[in-house]
Each structure stands twice: as C-alpha cells, then as structure tokens.
Amino acid sequence: MTQPAATTPSPRTSGKSGAASGSPDEQADDAADRTTTRTATGPDDLSPAEVAALIRAVDVDRAAATLSGVARRTRVVAHPGLGRRTGAPVWLKCEDEQHTRSFKLRGAYNRVAQADPARRARGLVAASAGNHAQGVAYAAAQFGVDSTIFVPTGANSVKVARTRRWGARVEHVDGGVDAALAAAEAFAAQGDRLMVHPFDDAAVIAGQGTVGLELIEQVPGLRTVVVGVGGGGLAAGIAAALAGHAHGAQVRVVGVQAENASAFADSFHAGRRLCAPADTIADGMAVRTPGRLTLALAASLLDDVVTVDEDAFWEAMVLLRATGGHLVEPAGAAGVAALLRHPGLAQGPTAVVLSGGNIDLATAERVAALTAAATVPATRLA
C-alpha cells in the first residue's frame, strides 16, 4: 500500500484539491480491506461539539509563550533535489536539531508546565518508544522533579541511554508501546503522579503545534506540510496551529505513516479507531492504536494520511545524509520518504518536518554504508 488515498471531506478540506480521489464509501472499504484481522477499539467518537471544544482547548499560542526560551526555534533549509523531483520548493524543518533531538520536548514540557504544581511534585510518568521519554525526562530535570518512563522491551538503546542521562528511571515492558502505556497509567494512578501522555492530551498537542507556528513565519508562501504520524500529536498540533492562523488556514497538512504500522492511516480513512500491527524500522511511529483526541482532530483538520514502504525510509535517510549531512532516525525521515514515493503531495512551497534524530548505531551504520556505496536510487537527487 504505497499509493495515497483521499480522505472524506472535512471542514478544512472541503473545496480543496487533494492528492487523490475516491468516494467516501470506497475509501472506507479500502481501509476495511487493509484491517481484515484488526479490531476496532469501540464506539468512542467525539461529537461535533466535543471536537469544536477540543480545537479551542489546543491553545498553541499559549504553548508558544510557555516554550519561549525552552524549545529551540529550529531552522528550515531548502532542499533543491526534492524541489526538482516534486516541481515545488521543498523546505526541511530540522526538529532533529531540537534539544533531545526530537520535537517531543515541545509537547512534554508544555504539559508539565501547565500541570498542578502539587501533582507535578509527586513525579512525572510516561510511556514511550524513546523520544517522548527524553522530552519528559528533560522537563522533569528543568522542574526538579522525579520521572519514571516505561518503554517497550527492545526500545532503541540510544534513546533509553539519553533518557537516563536526564535523570529518569526507565522500566522496560513486554508487549510494545501500548503495553508500556498501560503500565505507565497504572503506576501514575497508584501514586497520583502526573501522567504525561505521548500524544492524546490537549496540552501535548498544543506544544507540538508550535512547529506549525514557526513554519508559517519561516517558509515563504507555505502551502503544504508533510509530517510523520505515530499517535498523531504532531500532525494534529500543526494542523490546529495552521487552522487558527490567518495565513495558515489554506495550508494543506498531510500525515505519513509506515505501511507496516498503519493504524492511524487506516483509522483516518475508515472513520473510526482501529488497531493494527506495528512492525517497522520506524520505531518512533510504531503505535498500534491512534489517540482518541488526535484522530478526532485529524478527521477535522488533516487533508490526508498516506503510507510508505520500508525501503522508502532507508532511501530517505540516505538522501538526507548525502545531501546535507542530516542524520535522522527512520520516523524522522517519513516526510521525505513520502515525497520520494508520492512527489505530487508537494503542492506549492512545501515543508517537511524532520521530526527526530535519535538513530541507533546499527541503523546509522547501515545508512552510512548505503550512502558510501551510492546504490540507493534517492542519492541521484543530490
């Protein structure tokens, strides 16, 4: 499944030109076909009034004020090779250069900063494949409180080591990100500690959305944003930021997910939350169930969610290393992978978010070898 599928019209996408076409029934059928062995999580859709209230609750301007002097305003750089391939100017938003080498710091810090001080003092708890873990541990260090992070067994050792470096206690849990999240929620409830959800929280989403505010100011004439999706916090936050900005309402936002971990994409097109296996090199987006809040926001604000094959991640990482020295993790290269597979996604000046750079040693070594051998087709864009 490497062809982009269209979404049903939303308040944000009605009247816009999308990347693909198809009737709502056909799109829902396609999503159902892809999820034959997957199970829905239940009838938990938000009503239109609840979605409207959620959009208001995602206060990106407040988050920007909270993060001033904390999060870096990361640079954007033009990528001429991708521009030639797509026929549109392409800019890279370098969140791999953020503190903790990931955008996740933004949402985690914003949530912690807005929490009740007494509850925050009892300690922070989170579940993560690694990048959110570092964001929470960083925030805990800034506020001088304890943090306990639950990570899936086999989590990226580089991310785990960097999380511990910020002073967090790390607990490994069998069963993937969803099992780690359940363990974290139970532990937080036991001691009335502050649970910092990796994506399904309005303050977290708002913090991630500050990336969108920066893009409006940094990319001249911005018309498209392409961003990786795991739980959906970054994509939903950026879309919310753009929808609430005078110069952002007409900007298209396209999410990208691994086809081997396609729960969010499948749910987006089916119109309900679905579970899906998650077996991908892009560990940062290996989420088996989308967030309730993030999916509701995506249904209202995103223009599309597409998927890419595993080879596309490798090609994107090699291209970024060869054409600018960007050493990003697989999930961080998702937007570039999407443009390699679906160049038509870039409509007008396009921003691609390089969401993370916490790459493990084995992956980094393979990227270096592929770059040196110049055997990956994407290197021709150099």
| pLDDT single digits (tens) 75-85 | 999 999 999 99
* CA 88, chain centre distance (Å): 23
Residue 168 sits in the same domain as residue 303 = no
Last residue of a domain, one of 162, 195, 228: 195
Task: Assess contact for 148 and 123: CB atoms under 8 A.
Answer: yes
Stretch 50-70: mean pLDDT: 96
Cα(37)–Cα(31) distance, integer angstroms: 12
Name the 3-class secondary structure at 286: coil
Residue 282 sits in the same domain as residue 173 = no
Digit-coded pLDDT (tens) for 262-290: 999 999 999 999 999 999 999 999 999 99
Digit-coded pLDDT (tens) for 175-195: 988 899 999 999 999 999 999
Beta bridge partners of 194: 124
Task: Assess contact for 264 and 290: CB atoms under 8 A.
Answer: yes
Last residue of a domain, one of 195, 227, 259: 195
Within 10 A of 24 (CB to CB), how many other CB atoms are there? 13
Residue 175 sits in the same domain as residue 246 = no
Stretch 227-256: mean pLDDT: 96
Residue 39 has pLDDT above 50, yes or no: no
pLDDT at 178: 84
Domain count, the chain: 2
Q: Is residue 252 part of a domain?
A: yes
Task: Assess contact for 215 and 93: CB atoms under 8 A.
Answer: yes
Write down the residue that tokens 């309730």 correspond to: 292
What does the buried/exposed string (b/e) look like for 302-325 if buried means 16 or more CB atoms within 10 Å of the residue's CB? Answer: bbbbbbbbbbbbbbbbbbbbbbbe
Q: What CATH code is carried by the domain that includes residue 178? A: 3.40.50.1100
Residues known to be catalytic: 104, 355
Task: Assess contact for 95 and 350: CB atoms under 8 A.
Answer: no
Residue 355 has pLDDT above 90, yes or no: yes
pTM given for the model: 0.88
Kind plus residue range of the DSSP H or E element containing 225: strand 224-228
Residue 37: pLDDT band by 50, 70, 90 thresholds?
A: very low
